[in-house]
Amino acid sequence: METSSKQLRIGLAGLGNVGSGVYKNLLLNRHILQDRTGAHLQVTRIAVRDPNRKRDVDVSPEMLTTEWRDLIDDPQIDVIVELIGGDDEAFKLITAALKAGKAVVTGNKAVLAKHGKQLIELSEKQNTPLYCEAAVAGGIPIIKAVKEALVGNRIDSIYGIINGTSNYILTRMTKAGISFSEALGEARDKGFAEADPSLDINGWDAGHKAIILGWLSYGRWLKPEEVSVNGIETISSEDVTFADSLGYEIKLLGVIRQNQGDERIEVRVAPSLIPRTHILSSVDGVFNAVAVHGNVVGETLFYGSGAGQDATSSAVISDLADVAENLINEVGCTGFVPHGDYGVALPLEETLSQYYLRLSVVDEPGVLARIANITGENGIGILSVIQPEPKEPSEHIPLVLLLHDATYGTVSTALKAVLALESVESEHTLLRVETLER
C-alpha cells in the first residue's frame, strides 16, 4: 500500500489551551506520526469563537471559522476534534459529527459524564468512533490502558488522584503548612487553577472523570445522582496536621470499584486519608496518578501530568493516530471495548471504609467514654484516638478518632447520636480513610 499518500484531514473545534497544543504538536511530530501511522495527520479547518483573538500558534486566518458546523459540512474532513469544552454546545457538535459519519476525538469529561450513554449509543449505531483519551487524567494513557492493555481483567478497583488543582492545594497545605485559601491563591498565581476553579474545588471535575472510568470498567454510565462527590473546600490545616500525625495524607481521591461479593459498583470522589506508606501518597503537586487493580494483573499504577497543553494534546494525538490507522486499514471501530451493562450502583449508605472523625468537645472527664459507648453500640471499632493537650485554657478541645471499617449509613447514625451529646459541638469533620488494599 502506498501509505505516504494517505491523509487524515482534521477539523479542530477549539484553539484554546489544548487545541493550540494539538495543532503545535501535530506539526512538531509530523514525521514520527507519518512513519507510525502511515498517514499524514493534518489540521485543515479550525472553529473558534473569536477569530481575531491572538493565538499561541501561527494559524492562517483562512483556516478559521466561527461556525463549527462548517467543519462537519466539509466533505474533505475525516475527523472532528472537539476541544470547545462545556456540555450543551459540545453535545450538539459531537452528535452532529457522528451523524455525519465523522470520527470524533474529545477531551471533554463534562459532556461525557452528562451525555456519555447517548453519545456512545450513537457512535455504535453510526459505526463511527468516538475517542476520549484526554478526558481522564490528561496525558496519562489510562483509557487505553484499561480498555486495551487490561482487557483481560475484571477491574476490582481504581483509585485515582485525578484533579491536579486539588492535589496542588492539598500538597501545599501538607508540605508548607499553609491554609486552603492561601494554597488556592498560589495555585491561581501559578496558573494551576482556572479563574473559576469551582469544578476543581467542589470535586466535580474529578467526579466527571470517575463516571467515565466507571463506564470504562463496568460498562455502566452512572447518573450524577448515583455518584457521591465531595470537594476539598472544607479541609482545614488542623485536619491535615492530625492526618499527618496518624501516618496519613489527605488526597482528593476518586474511587471506582466493584463491591466484594456482588456486581454492585461504587463511584465516588472525596478528600480521603491515605496511608503514607502507599505510593499514591507521594503523588504531589499538579500530578495525577491512577492505581488500577485487575483480577489477573494485580496492582498497576499510572502516573503523569493530568492537565496542561502538551500533556493533554499527547492524549488527543494518540486518539488521532488510532483514527488514522482505522481509516487506512478500513476498520470500522467504535473507539471503545463494549462491555455488558452490568453492575448497579451501590447505595452510598452501604459503602464501606474506615473513617477519620474530628470533633470539638468540652474539656471534661468521661466524654471519650460516652462517645466510645455510641460507636460500640453501632458496632464500630475505634482504631486510634488523639486528644491533644490544649495549648491554652479552652472550654472546647479537639478529639480525633480513627474508626474501623463501617458502612457510611452506620457511621452517619452513630455520628448523629454523638453530635447530640451535650459535651460535643456540632462543628466536626468526617473523612474516609482508604486503605487502598484492592
Ligand X SMILES: NC(=O)c1ccc[n+]([C@@H]2O[C@H](COP(=O)([O-])OP(=O)(O)OC[C@H]3O[C@@H](n4cnc5c(N)ncnc54)[C@H](OP(=O)(O)O)[C@@H]3O)[C@@H](O)[C@H]2O)c1
Angle subtended at Cα 220 by Cα 215 and Cα 226, rounded to the nearest 5 degrees: 100
The residue behind cell 492505581 is: 291
Please report whether residue 16 would count as binding ligand X according to CB under 6 A.
Answer: yes
| Beta bridge pairs of residue 191 | none
Residue of the chain from 50, 189, 196, 422 that contacts ligand X (CB under 6 A): 50
Please report whether residue 131 would count as binding ligand X according to CB under 6 A.
Answer: no
Measured in degrees and rounded to the nearest 5, phi and psi for residue 386 equal -125, 125
Which of residues 272 and 312 has its CB atom nearest to ligand X in the complex?
Answer: 312
CB of 186 to ligand X, least distance (A): 18
> Which residue in 374, 378, 386 sits closest to 418, CA to CA?
374
Which of residues 138 and 197 has its CB atom nearest to ligand X in the complex?
Answer: 138
**Which of these ranges, 49-57, 269-277, 278-286, 364-372, lies near ligand X under the rule CB under 6 A?**
49-57
Please report whether residue 53 would count as binding ligand X according to CB under 6 A.
Answer: yes
**Which of these ranges, 11-19, 224-232, 336-344, 415-423, lies near ligand X under the rule CB under 6 A?**
11-19
* 114 noted as active-site residue: no
CB of 293 to ligand X, least distance (A): 24
CB of 14 to ligand X, least distance (A): 3
Which residue lies nearest ligand X, judged by its C-beta? 16
Tally of CB atoms within 10 A around 167: 27
**Which of these ranges, 45-53, 73-81, 213-221, 391-399, lies near ligand X under the rule CB under 6 A?**
45-53
Rg (CA), the chain: 24
Q: Which of 209, 223, 391, 416 is catalytic?
A: 209
| Beta bridge pairs of residue 431 | 356
The residue behind cell 491512577 is: 290
Which of residues 193 and 235 has its CB atom nearest to ligand X in the complex?
Answer: 193
Which of residues 310 and 425 has its CB atom nearest to ligand X in the complex?
Answer: 310
Residue of the chain from 11, 116, 129, 138 that contacts ligand X (CB under 6 A): 138
Please report whether residue 207 would count as binding ligand X according to CB under 6 A.
Answer: no
Within positions 357 to 416, which residues make up the interface with ligand X, using CB under 6 A? none
Within positions 208 to 247, which residues make up the interface with ligand X, using CB under 6 A? none
CB of 316 to ligand X, least distance (A): 8
Residue of the chain from 108, 171, 272, 326 that contacts ligand X (CB under 6 A): 108
The residue behind cell 481483567 is: 153
Please report whether residue 49 would count as binding ligand X according to CB under 6 A.
Answer: yes
Residue type, 214: G
Q: Which cell is 416 given?
A: 448523629
**Which of these ranges, 31-39, 48-56, 269-277, 337-345, lies near ligand X under the rule CB under 6 A?**
48-56
Residue of the chain from 98, 170, 307, 371 that contacts ligand X (CB under 6 A): 307
Q: Find the Cα–Cα–Cα–Cα dihedral 310, 197, 289, 286, rounded to 10°.
A: 60
CB of 63 to ligand X, least distance (A): 13
Please report whether residue 77 would count as binding ligand X according to CB under 6 A.
Answer: no
378-386 long-range contacts, CB within 8 A, separation 24+? 378/406, 378/410, 378/411, 378/413, 378/414, 378/417, 379/406, 379/410, 380/404, 380/406, 380/410, 380/411, 380/414, 383/354, 384/246, 386/242, 386/245, 386/246
Antiparallel, parallel or unpaired: β 155-161 and 130-131: unpaired
Please report whether residue 89 would count as binding ligand X according to CB under 6 A.
Answer: yes
Please report whether residue 18 would count as binding ligand X according to CB under 6 A.
Answer: yes
Question: Total residues contacting ligand X (rule CB under 6 A)?
Answer: 25
Please report whether residue 116 would count as binding ligand X according to CB under 6 A.
Answer: no
Residue of the chain from 8, 11, 14, 355 that contacts ligand X (CB under 6 A): 14
Which of residues 265 and 286 has its CB atom nearest to ligand X in the complex?
Answer: 286
Residues that bind ligand X (CB under 6 A): 13-19, 47-50, 53, 68, 83-85, 89, 107-109, 134, 138, 307-308, 312
Catalytic residues: 209
